Amino acid sequence: MARETKGKKTRVAVLMGGPSSEHEVSLRSGRQVAQALDRDRYEVREVVISKKGEWAMPPEALKDETDVAFIALHGTYGEDGTVQAILEGVEMPYTGALRNQSALAMNKFASLTLARAVGYAVPHSFLVGKAEWLRDPHLVWNQMRHYLGFPFVVKPNMNGSSVGVYIIRAYEELHPAMRDIFSFSREALFQNFIEGREVTCAVADHGWSESAFPLPPTEIIPRVSHFFDYRAKYEPGGSYEITPARFPAPMLRRIQTEAVGIHKLLDARGISRSDFIVDGQNTIYFLEINTIPGFTEVSLVPKAAAASGLPFADLLDIIISAALRS
């Protein structure tokens, strides 16, 4: 239960950094959040977690000096339930999805399997572990070629920011891709390549499922890559981002409805951003959900909020209030 802070400023610890491949992006997100928080309402403390997982202030001490943790940690450790478990262990409120829900959302194969089971369109997906790949790469290649056709996509099963995502068109491209993926992930996710338009849609809520509401969908047109990878996401000018997306109003509403449905299905809290591909037949394919989306100066959620007339500081108020209400 949240500690009472009525009549005084809420003390917020912004957690950033962390031991993942997205350490630097997380620092940018965290500092952007800390800068935007309204100083008339909040006392803000920036807490950097090192690449070794060392906290600038131990969680036990943090609990005594702050009221809520704003998690701006991307990728493993921050989005997979690890830091959530640490904070729950010291009974400290925190933003974003709870521990088990974070772990489920971070596991692309598991979340896609759940979404498919309740009727959402998702890519055909196969999970391959490192041992299976090393035992017989040719068998894996032949299976994927048979079931998925060309080209196909391979990515880490549990990672964010499109790190380690490859479009494979030939056998010689697969080995270096798998070597890279298995350097930081235990499992690789293979999917059929879907030709279409990339679109993402954020959803916010006030701390309970039925309060969820969508922000305007954003269409993404990568400039520096063939798809929305790490460079396209975070390099200035790396992609064209059009908000609202260039779809007819009924399609925009469909995308928003899908995003809200995914948010509720996976029991996200405060904020989420779901990524989709819309193919030539107007089928909306769910790709993944991000329970701690980027908050940098080039990130999609702050831009979508601004396009809807919701200032970034007000969006942060909603996210923090959701954590304190739950």
DSSP string of 22-39? THHHHHHHHHHHHHHS-T
Would you call 320 helix, strand, or coil by DSSP?
Answer: helix
Residue 180 marked in a binding site: no
Other Cβ atoms less than 10 A from the Cβ of 240: the count is 11
Query: Which residue among 20, 26, 29, 161 is the active-site one?
Result: 161
308 has catalytic annotation:
no
Best CA proximity match to 258, nearest among 287, 281, 229, 228: 287
Query: Which residue among 20, 22, 241, 272 is the active-site one?
Result: 22
Best CA proximity match to 300, nearest among 150, 161, 120: 161
- Cα–Cα distance, 301 to 272 (Å, whole number): 9
Would you call 253 helix, strand, or coil by DSSP?
Answer: helix
Give the CA-trace dihedral at 234, 78, 64, 323, to 10 degrees. Answer: 80
Query: What tokens appear for 296 in the block?
Result: 């940098």
Residue 258 marked in a binding site: no
Residue 187 marked in a binding site: no
Show the 3-state SS of 201-250.
EEEECCCCHHHCEECCCEEEEECCCCCCCHHHHHCCCCEEEECCCCCCHH
326 has catalytic annotation:
no
In the chain, the N- to C-terminal Cα span, in Å, equals 7
20 has catalytic annotation:
no
Helix residue spans in 37-170 (DSSP H): 59-65, 82-89, 99-106, 108-117, 130-135, 137-148
Which residues are catalytic, by number? 22, 161, 299
Q: Which residues are annotated as a binding site for Mg(2+)?
A: 275, 288, 290
